[in-house]
Structure 1
Amino acid sequence: MNEAAMTAQPTFALNHMTAPRLDCRKFIDLAASLNCVGVELRNDMADKKLTTAQFFDGESPATIGAYVRAKGLRLLGLSEAYGFNAWSDSMRDKVQLLITQAAEAGAESISLIPRNDAPVYAGNERDEALRRALGEIIPMLDKAKLIALIEPLGFVTSSLRHKADAIASIKAVGGEAHFKLVHDTFHHHLAGERNFFPEFTGIVHISGVVDPALAPEDMQDGHRILVDNRDRLDNLEQFRALLNAGYAGAFSYEAFSAEVHAFTAPAVSLRQSMEFIVTNLAR
Structure 2
Amino acid sequence: MALQFALNHMTVARQSYTDAFDLAAMLGCIGVEFRNDLPSELFDGDAPDMVKAKAKAAGLRILGLSEVKMFNAWDDRKASETEALLTIAKAIGAETISLIPRCDGHGCGNGERQANLRLALREILPMLKSFDIVGLVEALGFEHSSLRFKSEAMEAIVALGGEERLKLVHDTFHHYLASETQFFPDDTGIVHVSGVEDHDLTLQEIGDEHRVLVGPKDRLGNVNQLKELIGAGFDGPISYEAFSPIVHDFAQPKDELQASMKHLESAVSVEETLLPG
Q: Give 2:127's aligned residue.
A: 140
Q: CA deviation at 1:9?
A: 3.2
Give per-residue Cα distances to partners, 1:181-211, cap 9 Å, x unaligned. 0000000000001111001100000000000
In 1, distance between residues paired with 2:54 and 2:107?
45
TM-score, with length taken from structure 1: 0.93
Matched, 1:256 2:243: yes
**Percent identity, aligned pairs only?**
49
- Runs of 4+ aligned structure 1 residues displaced above 4 Å come to 120-123
Secondary structure of residue in 2 paired with 1:217:
coil
Q: Give 2:103's aligned residue.
A: 116
Q: Give 1:173's aligned residue.
A: 160
User: What is the count of residue pairs matched by the alignment?
Assistant: 270
Q: Is the 8 A contact 1:87 1:133 kept in 2?
A: yes
Gapped regions of structure 1 (runs ≥ 5): 1-7, 47-52
Q: Is the 8 A contact 1:80 1:110 kept in 2?
A: yes
Q: Equivalences for 1:24-39 in 2 at 5 Å?
A: 24-39=17-32
TM-score, with length taken from structure 2: 0.95
Question: In structure 2, do the counterparts of structure 1 residues 120 and 181 end up closer, same or farther at CA, with 3 Å as the change threshold?
Answer: closer
Return the match for 1:12 from 5, 24, 39: 5
Q: Is the 8 A contact 1:10 1:243 kept in 2?
A: no
In 2, distance between residues paired with 1:122 and 1:59?
42
Q: Give 2:91's aligned residue.
A: 104
Q: CA deviation at 1:62?
A: 2.2
Q: Equivalences for 1:1-283 in 2 at 5 Å?
A: 8-46=1-39, 53-119=40-106, 121=108, 124-283=111-270
Give per-residue Cα distances to partners, 1:201-255, cap 9 Å, x unaligned. 0000000000010112211000000000100000000010011000000100000
Q: CA deviation at 1:120?
A: 5.5
In 1, distance between residues paired with 2:107 and 2:232?
36
Q: Quick one: which amino acid aligns to residue 223 of structure 1?
A: H
Give per-residue Cα distances to partners, 1:114-146, cap 9 Å, x unaligned. 010132555522111111100111111111011
Secondary structure of residue in 2 paired with 1:282:
helix
In 2, distance between residues paired with 1:10 and 1:215?
31
RMSD: 1.0
Q: Is the 8 A contact 1:185 1:207 kept in 2?
A: yes
Q: Is the 8 A contact 2:107 2:146 kept in 1?
A: no
Q: CA deviation at 1:56?
A: 1.1
Q: Quick one: which amino acid aligns to residue 228 of structure 1?
A: G
Q: Is the 8 A contact 2:142 2:177 kept in 1?
A: yes
Secondary structure of residue in 2 paired with 1:76:
strand
Q: CA deviation at 1:81?
A: 0.5
In 1, distance between residues paired with 2:105 and 2:137?
16
Q: CA deviation at 1:100?
A: 0.3
In 2, distance between residues paired with 1:281 and 1:199?
19
Q: Is the 8 A contact 2:108 2:147 kept in 1?
A: no
Q: Quick one: which amino acid aligns to residue 193 of structure 2?
A: I
In 1, distance between residues paired with 2:26 and 2:109?
50
Secondary structure of residue in 2 paired with 1:102:
helix
Question: In structure 2, do the counterparts of structure 1 residues 135 and 120 end up closer, same or farther at CA, with 3 Å as the change threshold?
Answer: closer
Larger CA deviation: 80-89 vs 273-282: 273-282
Give per-residue Cα distances to partners, 1:94-122, cap 9 Å, x unaligned. 11111000000000000000010132555
Q: Is the 8 A contact 2:25 2:58 kept in 1?
A: yes
Q: Quick one: which amino acid aligns to residue 213 of structure 2?
A: L
